[in-house]
Structure 1
């Protein structure tokens, strides 16, 4: 064997060793890709029921929102009716009630003044009588 052949054998051995060392990670990578493919397939199979449940939930939420819209519309109508009733009450009874309150205040004030004046007059009369005796 010549030194060139020995060098060729060493180079061939090194090449085989390099191929073996690179084949192990490639085989592991292939298994990893197979596992990832299986996991993706299972996730895809399990996603259909999840999407079905999400769709039914959204349908239920939309139904509830339609009910809330109806309630809101009714509340808006009630608010409008109360506003109209308040305006009607103010226009119809507000002025007369204010006038009646002012009249009753004025009458009570006048009665108090009259009573006070009568009391003062009675007190002056009693003082005069008391001074003469």
Structure 2
């Protein structure tokens, strides 16, 4: 055997070992990819129902927020109406009540003065 034949034989052996390692690596990669595919399928089977439930929850929350918004609007309206009613009652009865209170105070004060001065007309 000549040096060229030995070199060719070494290259062929090296090439066979390299191809064997690549074949083993590709086989392991195929197993890993199959396992990843199964994992993705299982995850999809579990996540899809959860997404449906999350969508239902968000819709329910939106419905509740719409109700709360409507209630808040009603409360604003009631508050405005109560304020208007308070203003109306105050302007309607406030003036006359102040006058009645002032008149009552004046009458009490006059009666108190008559009692303290000893006015004969009061007996």
Return the TM-score normalized by structure 2: 0.74
Which residue of structure 2 lines up, in the alignment, with residue 52 of structure 1?
52
Which residue of structure 2 lines up, in the alignment, with residue 86 of structure 1?
86
CA shift in 2, pair 1:109/1:29, >3 Å: farther
Superposition RMSD in Å: 2.7
Q: Distance in 2 between matches of 1:111 and 1:25?
A: 117
Which residue of structure 2 lines up, in the alignment, with residue 74 of structure 1?
74
1:111 deviation in Å? 7.0
Q: Distance in 1 between matches of 2:89 and 2:6?
A: 118
Return the index of the structure with the highest Cα Rg.
Answer: 1
Count how many residue pairs are aligned between Structure 1 and Structure 2: 118
Higher RCO (CA < 8 A, seq sep 6+): 2
CA shift in 2, pair 1:24/1:102, >3 Å: farther
Gaps of 5+ in 1: 119-133
Return the TM-score normalized by structure 1: 0.69
Q: Distance in 1 between matches of 2:24 and 2:110?
A: 115
Counterpart of 2:22 in 1: which secondary structure?
helix
